[in-house]
Amino acid sequence: MGHPTHHHHINYIEFSSTDIEATKKFYSSVFNWSFIDYGPDYASFTATSAGVDGGFYRVDPHEAPPKTAPLIVLYSADLAATQKAIVAAGGSIVVPTFEFPGGRRFHFSDGRGNVLAVWSE
């Protein structure tokens, strides 16, 4: 009957991707996530490597309207190093680092259809 303590808690996050292999390479390179393939159109990651269970599903980049993912915010102990790793892996910064009460944050694109954010104190 599942785990009652997990009732109504976030359990899994899915993202779209226009290129599953490139997406896996990007997140493995920058964040050291590991993946399990479920055919050519789906790859999952676990809470062990990513902090939460989730996956990437393939979408057609010409699909109208394109599917998008919610903004997910990742934590980094070294914001500048993470930003450099993202750019080195082929991602781009879409919102430069800005300050907010409690920390600093930037948003990045993985180049495969997802925009996420990274924050630090």
Residues with Cβ < 8 Å from 106, sequence gap 6 or more?
A: 79, 83, 93, 95, 96, 97, 98, 117, 118
Q: What local confidence, expressed as pLDDT, does residue 34 receive? A: 96
Q: What local confidence, expressed as pLDDT, does residue 91 receive? A: 96
Q: What is the largest CA-CA distance in the chain?
A: 45
Q: Which residue has the tokens 């057609």?
A: 60
- Rounded distance between C-alpha atoms, residue 34 and residue 73, angstroms: 19
Task: Show the domains of the chain with their CATH numbers.
Answer: 4-120 (3.10.180.10)
The parts of the chain modelled with pLDDT lower than 70 are: 1-4, 7-8, 64-70
